[in-house]
Amino acid sequence: MEIVFLYYKPLVTATRGFFIYQLTIKKMKTINRLRNIGIMAHVDAGKTTFTERALYYTGLTHRMGNVDDGNTVMDTDPQEGKRGITISSAAVTTYWKLDGENYQINIIDTPGHVDFTAEVERSLRVLDGAVAVFCAKSGVQPQSETVWRQANRYNVPRIIMVNKMDRQGADFLRVVNEIRGRLNTNAVPVQLPIGAEDSFVGVVDLVAMKAILWDGDDGKTFYQNEIPEHLLQDAQTWRTQLLEELSLTSESILNKYLAQQEISSDELHIALQNATLQQQLIPVLCGSAFKNKGVQPVIDAVVRCLPSPADITTIKVYENETHTPVELATSENAPFVGLAFKIVTDDFVGKLTMVRVYTGVLKAGDTLINSRTGKKVRVARIMRVMSAKTESVEQINTGDIGAIIGLKDVKTGDTLCGEGISISLEKMEFPEPMIGYAIEPKTTGDGTRLGEALSRLTDEDPTLTVEIDTATGQTILKGMGELHLEVVLEKLATEYKVEVKKGQPQISYKEYLRKPVIHRTVLKRQNGGSGNFADISFELLPGGEGQQGLEFVNEIKGGVIPREFIPNVQKGFEQAMQKGSLAGYPLQSLKVRLFDGSIHEKDSHLQDFEEAAHIGFRDAAKLSNPGLLEPVMEVEVITPDEFTGAVTGDLNRRRGLIKSLDLNGDGQRIVALVPLAELFEYVTVLRTLTSGRASATITFNSYQPVPDGIVSSLLTHST
């Protein structure tokens, strides 16, 4: 299978750093020389710095960007430069040469901040492999655990880079142990650091059994040397460990290892790739992106160990008509199937829909069907995104990533299909927004622009929703956390020039039922000639452990309610549970057992049964002693030991439950479960409490019952 390798020359120089390039096809290469990878990590572990260095060494940028100076290639969003965190996951295409072959690498930078997990989810969904970056001092941080679990869910093969080897307190083997223990994973060093902290100078390659050392300021040049004497024994020990691990996964390595025969680097690389693809082990490398050491071997490992789209021979899809799951073989000759995984709007180019091509080829001029809407969409122009610049291309091949310009009515997560195929790819899972603000435009002129801006922003970000409160008529903007919403409001002001006033933050509570209730509802209305009639007997029960939504059990015998009415009863309960009887919040889960009822020959309509379910739910739910559930967050604080008392005391006052206290490389690590309602402006308060020396990471944990004593105070506070 051939894919096109492109070289460009600038045609037009446009504003805002965008260039349109004229294409000259120079060279062909194959799909197995393509890598779609993500860089995942806890915020601040060094993803952006690592990516910048990788782009510099692969020749895409000619100047090294620096996060601290706010001039990196990946951070194209002005908000990001300002906050120093990566909000959007920009996709960048670059090229790398290894053993005389050219490889194309599409890098998706995934953000590490918890408020932006949707970005992480969507990038993991379209990637074939990932580099997980950990800090050599801080080790496994909560966000790395969250992202790790997400990557497990999407079965993404990984390699690990332990970054910041130059930092005070850097300890490679401690971090490897932490990764093995806390992430329950078979992380195996394929390198050892040479020195640490100020004296970190390079790495020992345990496959080639050579030292790699960097010289020069920008890290572009490096050379191989013999392993320093003092590290020889360690290197032997860890190479043996690596060989033993690979022997468990490869028979040929096992045989040679047992027979004490020489094993070549090539053989080890093949075994390593197979084991990484099967996720039997995760190779661990190390370096210091900031000090420009250790980056190139990680890019080599991306090419050597991580899969190409050719390794993904089938994908799970659902037939649109029947919703039956089927395995679809990927092929360049099959009809096109792609996933719209990210939408970005740019003032100059317009709306860019980022698409991963799973099978077939995407061509400019194609007409596709959006599986969600069933409507046709026309592909006018396709581009390849190289961060701040884009290049027009004629087609994007199987396995590759590109952007379609100007698609209408396409949302993140939509499947696009070519002619002759009607399927949907598996849906992306996004967490529900947990917090909202009532917003209103500052001036009437801002009103129309606000509507347009919000519709653009919600198209781009599936964890952002806009609701109209039916009682007050207010517009409620909901998102994943305070920071998420703050970023959105700032975007509204700076990019869309819409100023809004915001109300108090409102938590998305849920309701639950505490005890079963048996109930009968009879709807009987007579207006002149025709009437309405529905009669249902049902039991409302609390939902089971881990259940979301409605479980509906139809126990009607002898057709006392004819079959065609049953879906309407179910629909009625489904709608009714969106508004609980305690404070109008939706029910997290509910079980309904419909066991008896009757109809009237003439007066019963489908709609009457829906209405009866509504009334029945409203009356019965009140009798089941309903309670309130609130989002509870896991808060991890890293603080110098002297502030431990102050931090735990404050967490206790916030209804926090301390789960663990332990010392790690950065100081005291406190993990607590704290209701979201008690966490407003927590980061600011923590800063004051600890003279700015502690840091906190807040991740969603679960919905938990609110103690009865405080339900009423929470409700008055939030409304």
The one-letter code for the residue type at 331 is S
As measured in angstroms, the least distance from the Cβ of 216 to ligand GDP is 17
- For residue 618, what are the contacts with CB-CB under 8 A and spacing of at least 6? 576, 581
Two tokens, residue 638: 């890293």
User: 277 to 296, contacts with ligand GDP by CB under 6 A?
Assistant: 288-291
Least distance from ligand GDP to the Cβ atom of residue 699, Å: 16
Question: Which region, judged by CB under 6 A, interacts with ligand GDP, from 38-46, 268-276, 683-691, 698-706?
Answer: 38-46
Q: Which is nearer to ligand GDP, 193 or 631 (CB)?
A: 193
Give the C-alpha separation, 379 to 51, whole Å. Answer: 31
Q: Residue 321 and residue 707: Cα distance in Å, rounded?
A: 46
Cβ of residue 75: shortest distance to ligand GDP, in angstroms? Answer: 8
Give the span between the Cα atoms of 693 and 461, in whole angstroms: 33
Longest dimension (CA), the chain: 102
Contacts of 456 (CB under 8 A, 6+ apart): 345, 496
User: Which position has the token pair 């781009």?
Assistant: 460
288 vs 424 by CB, closer to ligand GDP: 288
Q: Which stretch binds ligand GDP (CB under 6 A): 41-49, 212-220, 532-540, 641-649?
A: 41-49
Closer by beta carbon to ligand GDP, 35 or else 164: 164
Task: Supply the minimum distance, in Å, between the C-beta of residue 401 and ligand GDP.
Answer: 21
Closest residue by Cα to residue 219 from 39, 53, 107: 53
Give 292 or 639: the residue with its C-beta nearer to ligand GDP: 292
Nearer to ligand GDP, 134 or 573 (CB): 134
401 CB neighbour count, 10 Å cutoff = 26
**Of the ranges 45-53, 145-153, 267-275, 478-486, which one interacts with ligand GDP (CB under 6 A)?**
45-53
Residues 353 and 339: their CA atoms lie apart, in Å, by 10
Least distance (Å) between residue 165 CB and ligand GDP = 7
Q: Return the range that interacts with ligand GDP (CB under 6 A); candidates 11-19, 47-55, 333-341, 384-392.
A: 47-55
Query: What residues have CB less than 8 Å from 51, skipping those under 6 apart?
Result: 39, 72, 73, 74, 92, 107, 109
d(CA 382, CA 88): 20
Smallest separation (angstroms) from ligand GDP to the CB of 643: 22
Closest distance to ligand GDP from the beta carbon of 168 (Å): 9
Residue 75 or residue 391: which is nearer to ligand GDP going by CB? Answer: 75
Residue 693: Cβ-neighbour burial (10 angstroms; 0-12, 13-18, 19+): middle
Under the binding rule (CB under 6 A), the answer on residue 116 touching ligand GDP is no
CB 89 within 8 A of CB 109: yes
Q: Please list, in sequence order, all residues whose beta carbon lies within 8 angstroms of the beta carbon of residue 167, skipping any fewer than 6 positions away.
A: 135, 136, 137, 197, 288
Is residue 112 near ligand GDP by the rule CB under 6 A? yes
- Kindly state whether residue 43 participates in binding ligand GDP, applying the rule CB under 6 A: yes
- Can you tell me which of 35, 122, 158, 167 binds ligand GDP, judged by CB under 6 A? 167
Parallel, antiparallel, or unpaired for β 221-225 and 282-286? unpaired
The CA distance from 608 to 616, in Å, is: 12
The CA-atom distances, in angstroms, between 585 and each of 29, 406, 472, 719 are: 56, 38, 15, 12
Least gap, CB of 89 to ligand GDP (angstroms): 11
What residues contact residue 557 under an 8 Å CB cut-off, 6+ apart? none
Binding-site member from 9, 12, 27, 68 for ligand GDP (CB under 6 A): 68
Distance CA 488, CA 622 (A): 38
Is residue 49 near ligand GDP by the rule CB under 6 A? yes
Measured from the CB atom, the residue of 302 and 674 that comes closer to ligand GDP is: 302
CA distances from 99 to 51, 103, 270, 664, 670 (A): 22, 10, 14, 41, 47
Residue 163 interacts with ligand GDP (CB under 6 A)? yes
CA dihedral 397, 403, 409, 412 (to 10 degrees): 90
Measured from the CB atom, the residue of 170 and 246 that comes closer to ligand GDP is 170
Residues 358 to 397: which contact ligand GDP by CB under 6 A?
A: none
Least distance from ligand GDP to the Cβ atom of residue 331, Å: 37
Q: Is 47 near ligand GDP (CB under 6 A)?
A: yes
41 binds ligand GDP (CB under 6 A): yes
Residue choice 21, 44, 150, 194 for contact with ligand GDP (CB under 6 A): 44
* Nearest residue to 637 via CA among 655, 613, 661, 618: 661
Binds ligand GDP by CB under 6 A, chosen from 20, 60, 67, 298: 67
* Span from 3-11, 36-44, 229-237, 703-711 in contact with ligand GDP (CB under 6 A): 36-44
Nearest CA to 284 among 200, 204, 169?
Answer: 204
| Listed ranges 163-171, 216-224, 386-394, 439-447: which one lies at the site for ligand GDP (CB under 6 A) | 163-171
Report how far residue 627's alpha carbon sits from residue 709's, in angstroms, rounded to the nearest whole number: 11
Stretch that binds ligand GDP, among 42-50, 256-264, 277-285, 391-399 (CB under 6 A): 42-50
State in angstroms the smallest separation of the CB of 68 from ligand GDP: 5
Only one of the segments 44-52, 151-159, 599-607, 688-696 lies at the binding site for ligand GDP (rule: CB under 6 A); that segment is: 44-52
* Region of 162-170, 297-305, 359-367, 699-707 interacting with ligand GDP (CB under 6 A): 162-170
CA torsion sign, 320 to 325 to 326 to 327? positive
- 128 and 277 Cβ atoms separated by less than 8 Å: no
Which CB atom, from 289 or from 647, has the smaller least distance to ligand GDP? 289
Does position 172 bind ligand GDP by CB under 6 A? no
- Residue 664: burial class (beta carbons within 10 Å; 0-12, 13-18, 19+): middle
Q: How near is the Cβ of 161 to ligand GDP at its closest, in Å? A: 10
Number of residues that bind ligand GDP (CB under 6 A): 21
Residue 48 found at the interface with ligand GDP (CB under 6 A):
yes
| 203 vs 205: CA distance, rounded Å | 6
* Identified binder of ligand GDP from the candidate list 80, 115, 119, 166, rule CB under 6 A: 166
Q: Does 45 bind ligand GDP (CB under 6 A)?
A: yes
CB closer to ligand GDP, 291 vs 491: 291
Q: Torsion over CA of 74, 77, 79 and 83, rounded to 10 degrees? A: 0
Give 44 or 115: the residue with its C-beta nearer to ligand GDP.
44
Q: Does 86 bind ligand GDP (CB under 6 A)?
A: yes
Binding interface with ligand GDP (CB under 6 A): 41, 43-49, 67-68, 85-86, 112, 163-164, 166-167, 288-291
